[in-house]
Amino acid sequence: GMSSINVDCVVKAHSGLGGPVWQETDATLLYVDIYGPSISRCNCLTKEKESMSTETYVGCVVPRSSGGYVIGEGTRFAAVDWEKRSVTTITHVDTEKSNTRFNDGKVDPAGRFSAAVRNCLFSKMLNWWTSLKVSTRPSAAFHSLLLCSGTMAVGMCASERERKRGSLYALQPDHSVVKHLDQVDLSNGLDWSPDHHIFYTDSLKYMVEAFDYDLQTGGISNRRMVYGFEEDEGLPDGMCTNMDSKLWVACYNGGRVIRIDPQTGTRLQTVQLRVAKITTCCFGGKDYSRAFDLYITSATKGMDEEALAKQPEAGSIFKVDTVSHTYLCHTELPTAMSSIKVECVVKAHNEIGEGPVWEEKDATLLYVDIYGPIISRWNSLTKETESMSTETYVGCVVPRSSGGYVIGEGTRFAAVDWEKRSITTITHVDTEKSNTRFNDGKVDPAGRFFAGTMAVEVRPTELERKRGSLYALQPDHSVVKHLDQVDLSNGLDWSPDHHIFYYIDSLKYMVEAFDYDLQTGGISNRRMVYRLKEDEGIPDGMCIDAEGKLWVACYNGGRVICIDPQTGTRLQTVQLPVAKITSCCFGGKNYSDLYITSATKGMDEEALAKQPEAGSIFKLTYMTESLVALAIFRCSVSYRPFWRRIVVLAAELRKRMVDIRRTWDASSSSGWMAQLPLPLLNVPLWNLAIPGSHDSMAYCLDIHSPVLHSQPKILRVLDHIVPCFIRPCVNKWGTTQELIISSQLESGIRFLDLRIAHKPKDSDQSLYFAHGIYSLVTVKVALTEVARWLEQHSTEVVIIALSAFDDMTPVQHNNLIDFLKRLFEKKLCPKSVSSRLLSQEIPSLKTCWLRGYQVVMSYADPAGSGHEELWPVWDYWWGNESDPNLVISYLQHQKETVGRPVGFFMAGLNLTEDVRYVLHHPGQSMKSMTVRAYGLLLDWLKQQRPGAQKTSLNIICADFVGISGNEFTRVVVALNTQLLKQDVFSG
């Protein structure tokens, strides 16, 4: 997954090589042969190699600025004078042990963070390594310039070494030594991130770990796992980092180097080598700022003649060349990708192609040609394009759920019936102005259609200034004007958390941000987040990815740029073969493609001849994780046929550092399953304490939707008579959560209670969630959001209960089940696992990790019974009381009299209102009722225990799970510590 890979054998040898370090001053690669024992230098220009022997095993070597080197040899730190071929002891370690030796080592970043470790950003390698002699610099100024190196027991092979004999040391500038770790098996790779975390491998733990790092003192703390090795990857050995904090880890006996993201714990790439025993790696090469070479060492130790004959290059050094859009350290960092492919997918000559929107249902790209004026749909499967004309300039188009579209055309919002090729006016804007038109537009996360106007151009970008405005079409067809005095209203989008609105007024040559109120649609606190440079062109349309990064089309700049709105920096530039880039959106399978529109307006014949693809649509394909934005359309009674979501997936990618220390911290919730103490990884999931949310999707109820058919008849009658009273009341008491579904998962919730319904009079086949009334968000959108979250949290398992299924037909059941299987695929844990006899087949975390299971799903309808992936309905202990004391009494009775069921079951801490309670408390809501009872319910919860006993609990559900600092989730997760004292390893 990169633009180009070329693997060369640059040093032909048959040794046990390690510790490579690049010396830029003379383009030399420095390395050791541990068992040679020798230190070597290979000049990559002359290809000449020179070596010197050491007295005993030499594990690592680093240059020093005054000349010569410092090595970890045997159990001593020593200074090397290369010219004299002499080695002088600095100090010894492991004096209380025998038969140990140094292994890998590296110098910490000290005060030179950007230049010292990252290889490229501010200075050259000449300034990297600090002299270890106190006399060269005042020690007070360089207190934390350290050489870190680890020791290990000497043995025939990794598995034969005496365990827990190693340590991790740091040599200080004053030549004193600090021991950071003891009881180490095989101390190996280490490096530092740009934000001062240290990454470390103790190889026989088969994982990469991280520590917080105090740059002032050199102290390490908060140990946690960031990546667990799979069986086929071999043994983690040496490693290095690049500028975007990705780790490159050598895999001993795995024949590869892997690139991992320590924030998400995912493997991003594998580079296969021609030999098995890969030992370590480092970056080097001619120009650190533009392209890199990754130098990789290997070994022969333990190989017999037959193995050496099969791998004649074993023990050599390899160079991996990277070309073009490199994933390595780069002045413009790649964002969530490892390779780019650009292709022209719609060959056209649009005057101004604009407003691309992906329609997942038909795998279709929707877009406009403003001056055509036409609306077009390109089918990515058949490659066919169909179009319809509009009456005048059409600036933007969005789909609607009942079919057809809504456009910003001229100065009107209008509804489009695609089948009839008809356009019907909804409302007009800019009625007090002449010669203006709509330009770019998009729907906000709550369903408001934002679109801006501008003066009609004399020539491209030449227009009367300050004539435009920014409008929002509301669900009731009213219009709100948010901005006036706009030059050229253009790109717009919202942050993943819906709190920020990004906007472009093109002739200001900047991207701006506003605070955004999702409830009211109001914008405030205008500020600039990025100013375009002269060569970048004019900012036009834009879209946002799941990490909150903005992708901006650059008109007359021939590129799309990715910017970080938090830091105001450009992360990446993608050049296109045409100059007039107009807009972009994400689409395609898994939303890993970026579709880009372009224009021809104002180009003469000569320019068109030079850019024959001008006016076409291009697709950028990213070969690793997709970048996706979110917009969910709002439905109202009067407006229900009008709105539909434009992009299917919402993802909140959060940084996660996994910790499976035995001293477990239950306060960290986003990855708590991976943080459980090791003995609990074999516990059946139904014996763990698992936090769940009751009516998980009842945070997005549609106040304009009718009451469900399953509700009491009197309520339905009243809803028909006085909907303006009944629906707000049902919404107030039916809303049981505040966090969106991905935020619930991020907070540690691992059980989702999803109640599904179809709107009986809705011609669309979309399914919604329901609790008294219907939700705004569709089932497809929400579950896709869950799937994306799971992709980023590979060690977490989510239990999902699907139920209710109001007004669903057998066909809709079949379609839903097919969708579930396609969406989660092999992540679905089959129900047959629970009936297998072998303990390792019980659905424990370990079993799930080994088999790739991340979803355990029940389906409370006979339609699911014939599907191996869908479990039967589980018991839910529901008190059905508004008094928390009665809820607790009910749960106590169930525990002591009935006892826990076999397998999964839920205990609900949720309260239930009744008509009498609502009438007696007209000013309250479900939230106020819950908050008042929260303390009492949590006090009872803290006294409970999970496990296999009759009175044990499994899944505990609550309303408003994120309140009180996420205390509910933390209390439930902490209950699992009691399992360490129980026998809970049987089903």
- Distance CA(705)–CA(701), nearest Å, equals 8
Reported as type and span, the H/E element at residue 978 is none
- Distance CA(437)–CA(452), nearest Å, equals 8
540 among annotated binding-site residues: yes
Instruction: List, in order, residues 6 or more apart from 233 with CB less than 8 Å away.
Output: 251, 254, 256, 258
DSSP state of 895: I
354 among annotated binding-site residues: yes
437 among annotated binding-site residues: yes
Q: How far is CA 122 from CA 113, 181, 577, 854, in A?
A: 9, 32, 32, 43
Q: DSSP per residue over 131-163, as a string?
A: P--GGGS-GGGGTT--EEEEEEE--SSGGGSPT
- Distance CA(214)–CA(178), nearest Å, equals 14
- Distance CA(474)–CA(69), nearest Å, equals 70
Q: Which of 284, 312, 310 is nearest to 298 (CA)?
A: 312
Q: Which of 314, 267, 647 is nearest to 493 (CA)?
A: 647
- Distance CA(381)–CA(575), nearest Å, equals 26
Q: Greatest CA span in the chain, whole angstroms? A: 99
Burial class of residue 933 (count of CB atoms within 10 Å of its CB; 0-12, 13-18, 19+): buried
Tell me the backbone φ, ψ of residue 286, rounded to 5 degrees.
Answer: -70, -50
439 among annotated binding-site residues: yes
Q: Record the tokens describing residue 710, joined without a space.
A: 């399953």
- Distance CA(155)–CA(312), nearest Å, equals 25
Grouping H, G, I as helix, E, B as strand and the rest as coil, residue 181 is strand
The answer to whether residue 540 is catalytic is yes
Contact 235, 253 (CB under 8 A): yes
Q: Which of 374, 378, 376 is nearest to 389 (CA)?
A: 374
CA 451 to chain centroid, in Å, comes to 30
364 bridge partner residues: 359, 379
What number of other Cβ atoms are within 10 A of residue 56's Cβ? Answer: 14
Q: What angle do CA 324, 327, 329 make, to 5 degrees?
A: 100
Q: Record the tokens describing residue 185, joined without a space.
A: 């098996």
Quick one: angle between helices 926-941 and 723-734, nearest 10? 20
- Distance CA(798)–CA(781), nearest Å, equals 17
Residue found under tokens 């140094």: 102
Three-state SS string across 188-252, please? EEEEECCCCEEEEEEHHHCEEEEEEECCCCCCEEEEEEEEECCHHHCEEEEEEECCCCCEEEEEE
- Distance CA(107)–CA(173), nearest Å, equals 11
490 among annotated binding-site residues: yes
197-202 vs 374-379, strand pairing mode:
unpaired
- Distance CA(808)–CA(770), nearest Å, equals 13
Contact 620, 604 (CB under 8 A): no
Please pick, among 202, 540, 753, 807, the residue that the annotation labels catalytic: 540
- Strand blocks (E) in 576-721: 581-587, 593-598, 617-622, 690-693
Q: Would you say the C-alpha torsion 457, 458, 463, 468 has a positive or negative sign?
A: negative
Contact 780, 649 (CB under 8 A): no
Residues in the annotated binding site for substrate: 437, 439, 457
Residues in the annotated binding site for a divalent metal cation: 354, 490, 540
Q: Which residues are catalytic?
A: 540
Residues in the annotated binding site: 354, 437, 439, 457, 490, 540
